[in-house]
Structure 1
Amino acid sequence: MKMMIIGSGGREHALAWKCAQSPKIQKIYCCPGNGGTATLEKAENIDISDYQKMADFAKEEGVELVMVGPEAPLVEGISDIFQKERIPIIGPVKEAAMLEGSKAFAKEFMKKYNVATADYIITDSYDKAMDFVRTANYPLVIKADGLAAGKGVRIIDNRQDAERTIKEYMIEKIFGDAGTKIVIEEYLTGIEASILSITDGSTIIPFISAQDHKPIGEGNTGDNTGGMGVIAPNPAVDKKVMADFTENIMKPTLEGIKKEGWDFRGIIFFGIMITKKGAKLLEYNVRFGDPETQALLPMLKTDLIDILTACWEKKLHTIELQWNAQHSCCVVAASGGYPGSYKKGYPIEGLEKTKNTIFIAGAKKEGEKLITSGGRVLAVCATGSTREEARKKAYSDMQKIHFTDIYYRKDIGTILPKTSQ
């Protein structure tokens, strides 16, 4: 089988790495891929950005399966284009992808189908937003409605910060049109968890839970990032929490998808808060998480191609996920200055000395060398029979890797996420 993976980050390298292990896969076209996918024996990077041209290329080359990594192509309707060309693609159609594409759309869906979540208001009026926050109880949460690269959510402690945030989102438009409508939400106290799942619209299968570490600084301090590391499973997700999540979040979500009549063959990522009053849904993503994917796929024993094929064929009820390891730790190395401004173009040294799995994100291949080209550069992922074993292995390898201004957190897996939204 020939397949295509769309995207250029660490998540896409992990997907290509895992899919390449399947004996069913002959060739993987990565659009556009990165320096990591460039090194995979079965993979080839293809520089095509137009979705219709991607579909035309896939048809010409006899591609039988497409996996979409990032959220933007899904929200822009890439699945609709490929389905029109009768090319199997894992990812929801445009209408369903709005569960991630619009915070307001997602909250209204949650309300309609009784998915446990925080109370909220939605407004596209600057004056109404300002009126609300002048009499609101704090803390509260303000979210840009549209896609903001994971940076459109702020926890607000006082009226002055609320007014400044609303002005930045709605008037100054720091996220473009993504902030013209906002969601103002009840602040939830608890522990965050990530639960990836896959659905064919009739069956939904959750993966092992994970714990992301979004803040740039140790002790969960500083600005939020795309994710500085992950451990799996999340120690806060026990059987009771999982049962609560299944009953009050996952099942009603699937029921809503069915009742809306959406063609949803793809990934649902549930970002939840475990509160004293039970699990509450913070947000949906409609694709694999990053770096959760990098932490989970090395643990997965079941052939990923079998899972994805069953998803497309609406036969997920025949699949049972099996796992190779009990614990995983993924540590991200970033360019100094990230998530603010940073410099690129530095050679990455020491990869040949590592023993565990390295996923490349912001790096490109120049000759025989990998050169930094992004904020989050790579991730070291290790598995073990205990969380501490996985952590030690990951950090042992990270210490062997060098590039100018390398930065990584030293506390991944030792600290639960701070109580935040």
Structure 2
Amino acid sequence: MAAEEENKINVLVIGSGGREHAILWSLKKSPLLSELYVLPGSDAMKDLATQIDTNINNSINVIKACKDRDIKLVVIGPEEYIINGLGDVLKEEGIYVFAPSKAAAKLESSKSFTKELCKQYGIPTAEYGYFVNINEAKQFVDKMKKPVVVKADGLTSGKGAIVCKTIEEAYAAIDLILVQKKFGIAGESIIIEEFLEGEEVSFFTFVDETNFVILGSAQDYKTVNENNEGVNTGGMGAYSPVSVVTEEVRHQIIKQVIYPTIHAMKEIGRPFTGILFAGLMITKTGPKLLEYNVRFGDPETQAILPRLESDLLEFIWLTAKGELGTEQIQFNKDATVCVVVASKGYPDEYQKNSIIRGLDKIEKLPDILVFHAGTKLDINNNWISNGGRVLNIVARGKNIEEARYKAYAALDMLDWPEGFFRYDIAKRS
């Protein structure tokens, strides 16, 4: 693709987390880029992009900000803005958007919608039931006679799935969501599905309604504690590539899951554009879909993007314009491991504003990247915590083992008693 001055574009990234920090870092390298903006952004992103000071929840303000700066393309990071239809209003104003429509985003906003789509189009998934009634839900658990996963139907920032090994645990999960309203409106209905054995994989695909290009895969670690114990979080770490995704498995995923989904969404009048994030379980009988997300994964993006040889902006721009071709994404030979550092207490209550020391030393290490997920600068220019998930330490190596060693060696230099991280990221790789 030509990168003459007149073909360069101004780009806005929506978001302020580690995922968006990684996206900005990757976009900044593109010869297609003219000016890079971020909204709302964070202190850590100021070296990469110009922060826009406007109310992100007011679409009129966002449109004006884009037009004032001749922004041609908007990349939306967090799912809530996609699901609330920000992309739709920007597209109506002639601005290219890398994100699906509100209608297509139902793949993420409603697990029951996705399950019904799977049933209708023969996409492999776990056996399941959909419930609003507590007694009916518990009767279904009794009939299953095996471990289940109880999920809130709506959006819960990745925290709404509860693995239940016993009937008692399943009853408790049903009560937690339907009676105690743990997830509010997102838990007014639930999905109960069989617990699948296998390797969980996050699989990412660029889609422009009809054509698609595979971005790649990562494995993330959802639970707060080691050995996949404790409650689910937004993600405590990830690594890429994933050895279980062989050429054969990749082909199965595309043929049995990705292609039928793209076809189905077009056929039902909800054509999909953007990044399709399939959460899959690779079982003994092949891949099965656990859920769809309609945006880049967090923290998977932080693990995948440092492996890119191709120009991320080129593929995002082609996707947004509906012009994806046959060119495939190229990767370098690196393996990557991303470890999330979170505030103690996350994903429940946690304290903010504690000083984080040692980042200046970590950032100077070879093969280490630091993406900020929830930090800000205090009046003395100290980095302080400003969220649940606070930092992403990403290491590159010639294989997963080397990258893992480098990541944890870097974490040894972090001085932040109020934070914690898992010690087993990529251990099973």
Shorter-normalised TM-score: what interval? Answer: over 0.9
* One-letter identity of the residue aligned with 1:44: Q
1:150 equivalent to 2:158? Answer yes
RMSD: 1.6
- State whether residues 262 and 271 of structure 2, in contact with CA within 8 Å, keep that contact through their aligned partners in structure 1: no
Change (3 A) 1:39 1:398: farther
Partner Cα separation in structure 2 for residue 193 and residue 20 of structure 1: 28
Per-residue CA shift, 1:114-164, capped at 9, x if unaligned? 111111111222332233234331211211100011111111223322222
Q: Distance in 2 between matches of 1:278 and 1:268?
A: 20
1:12-411 matched pairs, under 5 angstroms: 12-40=20-48, 42-50=49-57, 51-354=59-362, 355=365, 356-367=368-379, 368-411=381-424
Please, which moves more after superposition, 127-136 or 332-341? 127-136
Query: How far apart are residue 261 of structure 1 and its match?
Result: 3.2
SS in 2 for 1:219: helix
Question: For 1:27-56, what per-residue CA distance to the aligned partner results, in whole angstroms no more than 9, with x for missing partners?
Answer: 22211112321332x332534222332122
Deviation at 1:364, TM superposition (A): 1.3
- The one-character-per-residue Cα deviations of 1:230-257 (angstroms, maximum 9, x if unpaired) are 1111122112211221211111112112
- 1:362, 1:373 within 8 Å by CA — same for their partners in 2? yes
Q: Give yes or no for contact 2:54–2:62 (8 Å, CA) kept in 1.
A: no
2:214–2:328 CA contact under 8 A, matched in 1: no
Which residue number in structure 1 is paired with residue 6 of structure 2? none
TM-score (norm 1): 0.94
CA distance in 2, matches of 1:47, 1:350: 32
The CA deviation string for residues 321-366 of structure 1, in whole angstroms up to 9 with x for no partner, is 1112331111111112222222110122222212221100011123
Separation in structure 2 between the aligned mates of residue 115 and residue 134 of structure 1, nearest angstrom: 26
Sort the Cα spacing of 1:45 and 1:228 in 2 relative to 1 into closer, same or farther, 3 A: farther
CA distance in 2, matches of 1:254, 1:397: 41
Offset of residue 318 of structure 1: 4.4
Most deviating of 11-20 and 407-416: 407-416
1:181 to partner: Cα distance: 1.1
* Large movers: runs of 4+ above 3 Å: none
- Percent of pairs with identical residues: 39
Instruction: Mark the CA change 1:212 to 1:49 in structure 2 (over 3 Å): closer, same or farther.
Output: same
- CA contact 1:2–1:28 (8 Å) conserved in 2: yes
Q: TM-score, normalised by structure 2?
A: 0.93
Q: Partner letter of residue 411 of structure 2? A: M
**Equivalents in 2 of 1:97, 1:23: separation in Å?**
30
- CA distance in structure 2 between the partners assigned to 1:219 and 1:184 by the alignment: 23
Cα pair 1:33 1:46 within 8 Å, conserved: no
| Residues 343-400 of structure 1: CA deviation (Å, up to 9, x unaligned) | 1101222222122211000111234332101111111112222112211222222222
Partner amino acid, structure 2, of 1:405:
E
Number of matched residues? 415
